[in-house]
Structure 1
Amino acid sequence: MRTRRLSTIVAAAFAVTALATGITVSYPASSSAADASGIQRQAWLYPGSPGESQCTAPAEYRDDRVKSGALKPEYWYINSDGTLHLETTAEGLCNAYSTANVADLKAHSASQYPTVSGMTASDVRALVSSSTKRSNAVSQLTTLITNNGLSGVDVDFEDYWSWSTTDFSNYKKFLQQLASSLHAQGKRLQVDAPAMTEDASFYDYAQVIATGVDELAIMAYDEQYDTPDGARCLPITPYDWLATVTNYAKSKVPDTSRLVMALPSYGYSAPDPCDLNSVNGNIQFSAMKQSPGFSSDPATVERRRDPSSGEIRWTSGGVLYDYVDSTAMDRKLAVLADLGITKVSVWSLGGGNPWFTS
């Protein structure tokens, strides 16, 4: 998901009631604070104009929440003609490329993986279908990463469900070229992937890893877009769905050191019952606090906490509001710890979005 363009981890089992099925599952029975605190943290951030809420991201990561992990700023996006645009602070953008930005990232993280973003199938297709544009992009990415002493590249090409088998084949060619180029310079490649629970023609985790990708970041959020017709919108990341996505990923990529499970820190609003065409997603916490009916009263927050996801959900004026707070993040992290995951990435920093409590 992109725009534009723990003091205590619960160690005792907590009951999860699936919204759609009524099935009750317990997560996690064996996780402890130590289990979850040993998971490497990563986080994405993205550019904005001065005054936009994402511009608070540096103030957030400067608390060294990912000092031993990774920061992943969006530095490039794909133009409609398949070329890459480098987003810079000279354009008046926060969180964009500059030597000062690079230095700040390095001061507050162990690894840095600037993101190249493609949010539509047509833009992705324009790049990966051309051998010349693939080569030019690989050169552009590798050169900046190498010259600035950064760790590698994060590839976030989305709109997967609109990809043809040819698109996926060309995408793998691009990844293979980029992985080879980066590895030759001692750099690494991370790739963002859709949350999946079964095999599909448009994407295959094992085939992507086979191109030479070092880490696959599974974006385990936005389950609300799978809500059945006429129902209340689902949570962003229900516990049982998170476990299913994770177990499927492990079946395709058995080496869990190469898996990064991505968790949400944001909210959304939608009509109740759900209208998928009217979901307002990626709402940062600073904006969510302005929503009708928002409450910071601890008792009210706990009454609104959804047992299937830990998320805070309420309705006002026929609109459902849902956001992920620190407790929900802690509990989702505990699910992953119980499943043997060692790395997580959070979308996203900025706007005062919640973070784990330890």
Structure 2
Amino acid sequence: MRRYALSAAAVAACTAAALLATTGHAATTSPPSARSVTARAAAPAAAAMQRQTWLYPSGTGESECTAKKEYADDRVKNGALKPEYWSVNSDGSVSLETTAGGVCNAYSAANVADLKAHSAFQYPTISGMTTADVHALVSSATKRKNAVSQLTSLVVSSGVTGVDVDLEDYWSWSTADFGHYKTFLGQLASALHAQGKRLQVDAPAMTEDASYYDYAAVSAQGVDELVIMAYDNEFDTATGDRCEPITPYGWLQQVTRYAQSKVPDPSRLVIGLPSYGFSAPDPCDTDAITGNIQFSDMRRSPGFSTDPATVKARRDASSGEIRWTSGGTLYDYVDSVSLDAKLAVLSKLGVTKVSVWSLGGGNPWFTS
């Protein structure tokens, strides 16, 4: 989708407000002002925002496997944990990902009990990442029925809150695919609601109406929470430019305001924020971006530094993200200061729920 750039003045104002709200300091070296006091007063609202986060399965010893230790600090004790438990196969069937063979973060009775001990809500995720896989599932009445039964049965038997549906590659869907997708969501919502369970649906970041996806139409299928994945803006970089940040403040505002215009009830809207990094050629080649780099890997990148002066010099004014180049490659990651600042942007817009992609690999978290 087309994304509109804000003026330099608008971006600067947004950046200053966000940094004030999270650090108590403006983007310049001027002393604290009345504006900084006002920003700090808004911090409790951001802290009170319900927090959710995703985690996903991986092999024993992989960095994703630290997720369990990370949420053990009760960072989402009053929020939600969302582990990926199911994947959509190429034939449209759904597989349950279990801990057999040493897979971490997957389904087991013990892992479910641990989720419940450290969160108020649990939404296991069903993941389908290609149009072909999504089409195979949603276009078949039999496959939809089987999936609904399979998902609902496990949610009920395990006593978790509901299901998080993450079916993607939206931009390549046909009109028929979107129609079948809505049918699937409606059927799943009905089955879950009949058992007192809830449905979350992950949606693409948008700033204007598009033919491939419609927030209001999806929400109308009985979706309890629509989760807008407000990240990966770098993939929309214009040819020849330096790759854009993952989530610029101005773009985050646009995405959120558009979502609020389609889903005005704040209790039914969740905004997704990033906690990861990427690398890419400089100038940008969107086909060559390496995304979703965890912090444990990012810190091994050429030129990585924790020196405060270096970090300050590398902090991007439009996003708060840490960006530098080395050997013709751009590196970008979200640290805690940037994550806090993005949360402050959402707090000012009246957002009440936020979800972070993702736990694992020591990815940064909010500072409070």
Residue 89 of structure 1 aligns to a residue whose secondary structure is: coil
Structure 2 counterpart of 1:99: 109
Shift of 1:113: 0.1
TM-score normalised to the size of structure 2?
A: 0.91
1:338 aligns with 2:348: yes
Cα distance in 2 between the residues matched to 1:139 and 1:298:
53
Structure 1 counterpart of 2:135: 125
What code does the residue aligned with 2:10 have?
T
Encode CA deviations 1:240-291: one digit per residue, 9 max, x unaligned. Answer: 0000000000000111110000000000000111011110000000000000
Cα distance in 2 between the residues matched to 1:184 and 1:91:
35
Give the CA RMSD over aligned residues.
1.2
Encode CA deviations 1:153-181: one digit per residue, 9 max, x unaligned. Answer: 00000000000010000000000000000
Cα distance in 2 between the residues matched to 1:181 and 1:325:
40
1:248 aligns with 2:234: no
TM-score normalised to the size of structure 1?
A: 0.94
Cα distance in 1 between the residues matched to 2:101 and 2:357:
24
How many residue pairs match? The answer is 341
Structure 1 counterpart of 2:23: none
From 298, 303, 318, give the equivalent of 1:293.
303
The 5 A counterparts of 1:271-282 are: 271-282=281-292
Percent of aligned pairs with the same amino acid: 71
Shift of 1:23: 4.3
From 354, 358, 361, give the equivalent of 1:348.
358
Whether the 8 Å CA contact 1:66–1:109 is kept in 2: the answer is yes
Could you list the runs of 5+ residues in structure 1 that have no partner in the other structure? Answer: 1-17
Cα distance in 1 between the residues matched to 2:6 and 2:118:
41
1:191 aligns with 2:177: no
Cα distance in 2 between the residues matched to 1:352 and 1:298:
19
Residue 8 of structure 2 aligns to a residue whose secondary structure is: coil
Structure 2 counterpart of 1:81: 91
Describe the shift of the 1:21–1:315 C-alpha distance in structure 2 as closer, same or farther (beyond 3 A): farther
Whether the 8 Å CA contact 2:5–2:251 is kept in 1: the answer is no
Cα distance in 2 between the residues matched to 1:108 and 1:185:
23
The 5 A counterparts of 1:261-340 are: 261-340=271-350
What code does the residue aligned with 1:24 have?
A
What code does the residue aligned with 1:228 have?
A
Structure 2 counterpart of 1:24: 10
From 211, 225, 230, give the equivalent of 1:220.
230
Whether the 8 Å CA contact 2:6–2:250 is kept in 1: the answer is no
Shift of 1:24: 3.2
Shift of 1:20: 8.1
Whether the 8 Å CA contact 2:85–2:97 is kept in 1: the answer is yes
Range with bigger deviation, 137-146 or 31-40: 31-40
1:200 aligns with 2:210: yes
Q: Which runs of 4+ in 1 moved over 6 A?
A: none
